[in-house]
Chain A
Amino acid sequence: MTEPEPVPEPVPGPVLEVASLVKRFGTFTAVDDVGFTLMPGASLGIVGESGSGKTTTARVLAGLEEPTSGTVTLAGETVTGRSRRDRLRRARLLQMIFQDPYGSFDPRQTIAESVAEPLRLHAPGSRKQHRARAAELLDQVGLSRRAGQSPPRDLSGGQRQRAAIARALAVRPRVLVLDEAVAALDVSIQAQILTLLEELRAGTGIAYVFVSHDLGVVRHITDEVLVMRHGRVVERGATEHVLRTPRHPYTRLLLDSIPSPDWDLDRVARDRVARDRRALDLADRQATPAPKGETTC
Chain B
Amino acid sequence: MNVLDIAGLRLSVGDVPLLADVTVRVGRAETVGLVGESGSGKSLTSRAALGMFPRGARVTGHVTAAGVDVLAAGRGALRDLRRTRAAMVFQDPRASINPVRRVGDYLTEGLRASGVPAREAAARALDLLDQVGIRDPGRAVRRHPHEFSGGMLQRVVIAGALAAEPDLLLADEPTTALDVTTQAEVVALLKRLQRDRGTGMLFVTHDLDLAAAVCDRVYVMYAGRVVEEAPSAGLFRAPAHPYTRALLEASPSARGERAEIRAIRGRPRSLAEAPSGCSFRDRCPLADDACARKVPDIRPHGTSLVACLRPQEVTP
**B37 neighbours in A (Cβ, 8 Å):** 186-188
Chain B: minimal CB distance from A259 (Å): 4
Question: Which of B120-128, B207-215, B293-301 contacts the other chain?
Answer: B207-215
For A213, list chain B residues within 8 Å (CB). Answer: 179-180
| B233: chain A residues within 8 A (beta carbon) | 261
Known: A213-B180, A265-B187. A259 touches B210 (CB 8 A): yes
B188 touches A257 (CB 8 A): no
> Is B206 an interface position by the 8 A CB rule?
yes
Q: Are B188 and A269 in contact (CB under 8 A)?
A: yes
A243 lies within 8 A of B250 (CB)? no
Chain B residues within an 8 Å CB radius of A215: 254
Known: A257-B184, A259-B212, A261-B212. A191 touches B250 (CB 8 A): yes
Contact partners of A240 in chain B: CB under 8 A: 258
Inter-subunit contact B207/A265 (CB<8 Å): no
B113 contact set on A, CB distance < 8 A: none
Kindly list chain A residues whose C-beta atoms are within 8 Å of the C-beta of B213: 259-261, 263, 265
Q: Out of B214, B250, B254, which one reaches A219, CB within 8 Å?
A: B254
Residues on B with C-beta less than 8 A from A253 are 181
B267 at the interface (CB under 8 A from A): yes
With contacts A191-B261, A213-B180 taken as known, whether A186 is within 8 angstroms of B38 at the C-beta atoms is: yes
A49 touching B250, Cβ below 8 Å: no
Q: A77-104, CB under 8 A of B: which get 1 and which 0?
A: 0000000000000000000000000000
**Which residues 186-230 of B have a CB within 8 angstroms of A?**
187-188, 191, 206-210, 212-214
For this complex, into which size category does the number of interface residues on chain A fall?
Answer: 35 or more
In the complex, the answer to whether B267 meets A259 with C-beta atoms within 8 Å is no
Residue in B188, B263, B265 whose CB lies within 8 Å of A265 = B188
Chain A nearest CB, measured from B212 CB (Å): 4
Contact string, A264-285, partner B, CB cutoff 8 A, digits 1/0?
A: 0110110010000000000000
Asked if A18 is at the interface (CB within 8 A of a chain B CB), the reply is: no
Say yes or no: is A216 at the interface (Cβ < 8 Å to chain B): yes
Distance between A14 CB and nearest chain B CB, rounded to angstroms: 26
Report if A158 contacts B (CB, 8 A): yes
- Counting contact residues on chain B (CB < 8 A from A), the size range is 35 or more
Q: A188-B247, A213-B179 are known contacts. Are A259 and B268 too (CB-CB below 8 A)?
A: no
A143 neighbours in B (Cβ, 8 Å) = none
Inter-chain contact B267/A49, CB cutoff 8 Å: no
Convert A175-194 into 0s and 1s, putting 1 for each residue whose CB lies closer than 8 angstroms to a CB of B.
00000000000111111101
In the assembled complex, the Cα of A190 lies from the Cα of B252 at a distance in Å of 9
| B252 contacts A220, C-beta separation under 8 Å | yes
Contact of B43 with A by CB under 8 A: no
In the complex, which residues of chain B have a beta carbon less than 8 angstroms from the beta carbon of A261?
A: 209, 212-213, 232-233, 236
User: Taking the complex as formed, is A288 at the interface, i.e. its CB lies under 8 A from any CB of chain B?
Assistant: no
The residue on B at minimum CB distance from A158 is B267
Q: Select which of B38, B208, B210, B262 is within 8 A of A191 by beta carbon.
A: B262
B173-185 interface code vs A (CB 8 A; 1 in, 0 out): 0000001111111
Find the A residue at minimum CB distance from B151. A50
Establish whether residues B191 and A188, one from each chain, have CB atoms under 8 Å apart when the complex forms.
no
A87 to chain B minimum Cβ distance, whole angstroms, is: 33
List CB contacts (< 8 Å) of B233-257 with chain A.
233, 236, 246-247, 250-255
- Closest residue to B283 on the A side, CB-wise? A188
Residues in chain B near residue A217, CB distance under 8 A: 252
Bound-complex Cα distance A266 to B214 (A): 13
**Beyond A49-B180, A258-B209, A268-B184: 8 further Cβ-contacts under 8 Å?**
A187-B206, A191-B250, A191-B262, A219-B254, A243-B255, A257-B184, A259-B213, A269-B188
Residues of A within 8 A of B (CB): 49-50, 156-158, 186-192, 194-195, 213-220, 240, 243, 253-261, 263, 265-266, 268-269, 272
Q: For the complex of A and B, list the 5 residue pairs with the smallest distance between their C-beta atoms, beginning with the closest.
A: A259-B213, A191-B250, A263-B213, A215-B254, A191-B263
